């Protein structure tokens, strides 16, 4: 029954702190209420400049098509490519479309005129998506205008699975679960044991008959409960505020979250065990958090990474979690879909848990 | 003057003798540059593709060959019904399914893409690439040109952003912590009773960080140029001048924080919460500002790194003249003057 008192002690320590209880409640709320609006990589409001060197009916029609597309903001017609480039340099335009002379005549006679689309590609995503849309418009227009052309854009049919309205929040909310869990269950335990070391209270534990694994378990359980609370709050907010619900079984979300929480809290305790001061512990944790988060596929697809970076995803628990939670939450997968991820996370959590017990030394 | 120099030397020794801080100061830029430069990309690559077809005729084969030959796609399976393909996508074994209609060969029409749409941007790009790969590119009348970044490397976008983030972090966070540490340990008292003027103490404290900021700036620029192959199109002089304004701004922010905070932990939390989060989230570093709701856009208007990052992207990558970034320079200078005035006005020469 010793463990009951140890857990009680942990909760008292958290409650007596003026800052921690507020942080635990407010941080997930803030993250879930504000971040989905910020983490929106949707590309919109692309400014287009058009240079029409042809001035025929067909070229006018193309210009009108661009003007009326609600994807672009038509910023005006320019006299020359140079003028348009000037606009790009001052950020008044993102994409420039140049219609060559004889565009209309070439189309009617079955030649292929070359419409130039130049996009500001400093931001690669914006550049490529903007130019892709614009080329689609040009291709469609050409298919209508030129006789005997067998290249019909209508032969392609597109179906977006799972996220039909291409809503970025659907993609980012599971990622936010991961971030919130990581912050709460990663940083708080990191400060825990090292905090006791700095305050000197660890000495008192070291002279009690409490065994190592019981001490560590008593440290871990409060963070599990915090993780449980956090994930419930996150699920409720995403349903109430954004109308986004879990497509697969909710139980699996909890399973994944608990495994991740176990991993991060054990990992935090390990760092805490090896550190001397809070500052040191925080910086070490910060390093791991940033690299694991960036390499997990939270923001960018892991498959685009170079091979060496992709190889690190095999030992990155965040990657398994992000994959798993998106499969369950967005794609509606069942247990069989994420068995692989659950297995990997269980392994990581077990190894880290044992390591946390092992690395705690009672004699300094 | 001699006392002043010895103060600077004292401060420099503080920094140099703290191994851990040095490791963070120089390790952080290098790790961030490597991660952002190489690992964080949104290039279309290795898209796991499933082919759905019931009849393997010549036309279908040709289209599949084109997909398989391109570096963007790798064919992982061939199944006979769209339902099987969807299951593969759901289980994360594939990202994209290309469904050929039964009479694909006869009419040369009827391809359906079923794509995992959970990431909208990537889904959009995958299908565009797939469409372009299948259609014979010679027939297209579009001539695409990617300005400034022909290979579409993400590093071009991120290097200026990392500069904006790190300079702010080093100058504001480190300065404020070092001043507050002296307060916390009680050594500030000793400094204030020395013959040198209080303002001079602060200036002497700031100068080593100023130097450090330039060293880091140079490191980032050199790494960007020679390791990540990011071009330096604009003039170096302007890049350094603008960075100087920005560094001064960050230093005055650090001074302001050190006036408010009275413990290291509070200085750390203040700079992390008040500086780091808005920089990463609202400066346009990762997430485009124009896609945010209006209220967040207004808040982002007072985030200084936003202007610095924007100006640096133009100067470094696009290589425009200083005239094109006049607006950003003016805003940054205004902010610097304001913050400098406030932090000097609030500077306390006495300890309570």
Contact assignment for B123 to A163 by CB distance below 8 Å: yes
Q: Which of B2-6, B19-23, B278-282 has the lowest mean pLDDT?
A: B19-23
Contact assignment for A283 to B20 by CB distance below 8 Å: yes
pLDDT score for B6 = 87
CATH of domain A46-155: 3.40.1710.10
B320 touches chain A (CB under 8 A): yes
Residue B331 banded pLDDT, cuts 50, 70, 90: very high
The alpha carbon of B343 is separated from its chain's Cα centroid by a whole number of angstroms, namely: 28
Q: Which of A28-37, B25-34, B71-80, B301-310 has the lowest mean pLDDT?
A: B25-34
B297 touches chain A (CB under 8 A): no
Instruction: Provide the residue ranges of all domains of chain A, joining segments of one domain with +.
Output: 2-39+166-359, 46-155
Retrieve residue B267's tokens. Answer: 């200085």
Whether the pLDDT of residue A218 is over 70: the answer is yes
Whether the pLDDT of residue B64 is over 80: the answer is yes
B95, B101, B105, B106 alpha-carbon torsion, rounded to 10°: -160
Cα–Cα distance for residue pair B347/A70, rounded to 1 Å: 53
pLDDT score for A154 = 53
B258, B260, B261, B262 alpha-carbon torsion, rounded to 10°: 100
CB atoms within 10 A of CB B110: 17
pLDDT score for B244 = 93
Whether the pLDDT of residue B132 is over 80: the answer is no
Whether the pLDDT of residue A29 is over 70: the answer is yes
pLDDT score for A320 = 92
pLDDT score for B139 = 59
Whether the pLDDT of residue B348 is over 80: the answer is no
At A250-286, the pLDDT tens digits run 888 999 999 999 999 999 989 888 887 777 787 788 8
Contact assignment for A157 to B264 by CB distance below 8 Å: no
A269, A271, A274, A275 alpha-carbon torsion, rounded to 10°: -110
At B91-112, the pLDDT tens digits run 888 888 888 877 665 555 578 8
Q: What is the mean pLDDT of chain B?
A: 82
pLDDT score for B249 = 92
Whether the pLDDT of residue B349 is over 80: the answer is no
B74 touches chain A (CB under 8 A): no
pLDDT score for B25 = 76
pLDDT score for B246 = 93
pLDDT score for A343 = 92
pLDDT score for B277 = 75
Strand partners, A116: A98, B143
Its ipTM equals 0.77
**Backbone CA torsion sign across B156, B161, B162, B167:** positive
At A164-215, the pLDDT tens digits run 777 888 888 888 899 888 888 888 888 888 878 877 888 888 888 888 888 8
At B181-238, the pLDDT tens digits run 888 788 888 888 888 887 888 888 888 888 988 998 998 889 888 888 888 888 888 8
pLDDT score for B106 = 59
Chain A closest-CA separation from residue B350 CA (Å):
28
Whether the pLDDT of residue A136 is over 70: the answer is yes
Whether the pLDDT of residue A20 is over 70: the answer is yes
pLDDT score for A26 = 85
CATH class of B47-139: alpha beta
Residue B351 banded pLDDT, cuts 50, 70, 90: low
Instruction: Provide the residue ranges of all domains of chain B, joining segments of one domain with +.
Output: 2-40+153-346, 47-139
Query: What distances in angstroms separate CA B33 from CA A7, A127, B26, B228, B229, one per listed residue?
Result: 42, 22, 11, 8, 12
At B139-186, the pLDDT tens digits run 566 677 777 877 777 778 888 888 888 888 778 888 888 888 888 788
Query: What distances in angstroms separate CA B86 from CA A159, A174, B79, B126, B131, one per listed residue?
Result: 11, 21, 10, 16, 19
B89 touches chain A (CB under 8 A): yes
pLDDT score for A106 = 80
Question: B residues 146-165 near A, CB within 8 Å?
Answer: 146-150, 152-154, 156-157
pLDDT score for B337 = 92
Question: B residues 250-279 near A, CB within 8 Å?
Answer: 264-265, 268
pLDDT score for B138 = 53
């Amino acid at each position: 029954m010793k463990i009951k008192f140890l857990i009680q002690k942990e909760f008292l320590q958290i409650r007596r702190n003026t800052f921690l209880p507020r942080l635990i409640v407010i941080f997930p709320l803030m993250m879930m209420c504000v971040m989905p609006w910020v983490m929106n990589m949707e590309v919109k409001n692309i400014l287009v400049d058009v240079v029409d060197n042809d001035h025929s009916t067909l070229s006018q029609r193309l210009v009108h098509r661009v003007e009326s597309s609600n994807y672009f903001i038509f910023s005006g017609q320019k006299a020359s490519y140079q003028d348009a480039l000037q606009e790009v340099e001052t950020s008044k335009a993102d994409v420039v479309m140049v219609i060559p002379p004889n565009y209309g005549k070439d189309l009617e006679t079955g030649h292929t005129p070359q419409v130039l689309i130049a996009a500001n590609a400093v931001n690669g995503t914006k550049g490529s998506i903007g130019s892709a849309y614009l080329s689609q418009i040009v291709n469609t227009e050409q298919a209508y205008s030129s006789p005997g052309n067998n290249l019909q854009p209508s032969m392609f049919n597109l179906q977006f699975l799972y996220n039909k309205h291409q809503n970025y929040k659907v993609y980012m909310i599971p990622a936010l679960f991961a971030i919130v869990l990581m912050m709460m269950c990663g940083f708080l335990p990191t400060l825990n044991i090292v905090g006791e070391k700095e305050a000197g209270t660890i000495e008192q534990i070291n002279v009690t008959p409490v065994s190592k694994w019981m001490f560590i378990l008593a440290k871990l359980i409060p963070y599990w409960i915090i993780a449980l609370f956090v994930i419930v709050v996150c699920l409720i907010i995403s349903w109430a505020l954004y109308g986004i619900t879990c497509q697969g079984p909710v139980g699996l979300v909890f399973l994944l979250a608990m495994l991740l929480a176990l991993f991060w809290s054990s990992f935090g305790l390990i760092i805490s065990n090896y550190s001397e001061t809070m500052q040191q512990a925080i910086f070490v944790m910060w390093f791991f958090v940033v690299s694991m988060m960036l390499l997990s596929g939270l923001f960018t697809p892991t498959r685009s990474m170079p091979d060496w970076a992709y190889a690190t995803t095999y030992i990155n628990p965040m990657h398994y979690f992000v994959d798993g939670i998106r499969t369950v939450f967005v794609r509606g997968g069942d247990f069989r879909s994420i068995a692989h991820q659950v297995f990997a996370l269980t392994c990581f959590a077990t190894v880290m848990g044992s390591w946390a017990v092992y690395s705690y030394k009672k004699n300094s | 003057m001699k006392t002043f120099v010895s103060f600077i030397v004292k401060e420099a020794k503080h920094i140099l003798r703290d191994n851990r801080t040095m490791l963070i100061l120089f390790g952080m830029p290098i790790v961030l540059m490597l991660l952002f430069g190489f690992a964080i990309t949104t290039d279309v690559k290795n898209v796991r593709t499933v082919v759905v077809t019931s009849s393997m005729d010549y036309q279908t084969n040709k289209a599949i060959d084109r997909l398989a030959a391109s570096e963007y796609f790798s064919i992982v399976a061939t199944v006979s019904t769209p339902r099987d393909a969807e299951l593969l996508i759901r289980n994360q074994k594939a990202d994209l399914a290309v469904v050929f209609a039964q009479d694909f060969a006869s009419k040369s029409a009827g391809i359906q893409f079923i794509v995992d749409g959970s990431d909208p941007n990537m889904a959009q790009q995958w299908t565009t690439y797939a469409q372009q790969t299948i259609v014979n590119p010679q027939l297209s009348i579009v001539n695409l040109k990617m300005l400034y970044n022909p290979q579409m490397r993400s590093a071009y976008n991120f290097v200026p952003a990392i500069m904006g983030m790190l300079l702010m972090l080093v100058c504001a966070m480190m300065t404020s912590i070092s001043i507050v540490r002296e307060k916390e340990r009680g050594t500030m008292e000793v400094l204030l009773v020395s013959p040198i003027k209080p303002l001079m103490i602060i200036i002497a404290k700031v100068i080593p960080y100023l130097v450090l900021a330039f060293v880091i700036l140079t490191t980032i620029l050199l790494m960007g140029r020679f390791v990540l192959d990011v071009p330096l199109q604009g003039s170096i002089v302007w890049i350094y001048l603008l960075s100087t304004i920005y560094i001064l701004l960050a230093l005055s922010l650090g001074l302001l924080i050190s006036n408010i905070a009275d413990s290291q932990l509070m200085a750390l939390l203040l700079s992390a919460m008040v500086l780091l989060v808005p920089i990463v989230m609202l400066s346009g570093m990762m997430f485009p500002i124009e896609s945010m709701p209006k209220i967040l856009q207004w808040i982002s208007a007072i985030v200084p790194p936003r202007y610095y990052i924007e100006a640096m992207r133009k100067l470094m990558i696009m290589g425009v003249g200083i005239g094109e970034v006049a607006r950003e320079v003016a805003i940054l200078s205004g902010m610097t003057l304001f913050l400098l005035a406030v932090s000097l006005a609030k500077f306390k020469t006495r300890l309570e």
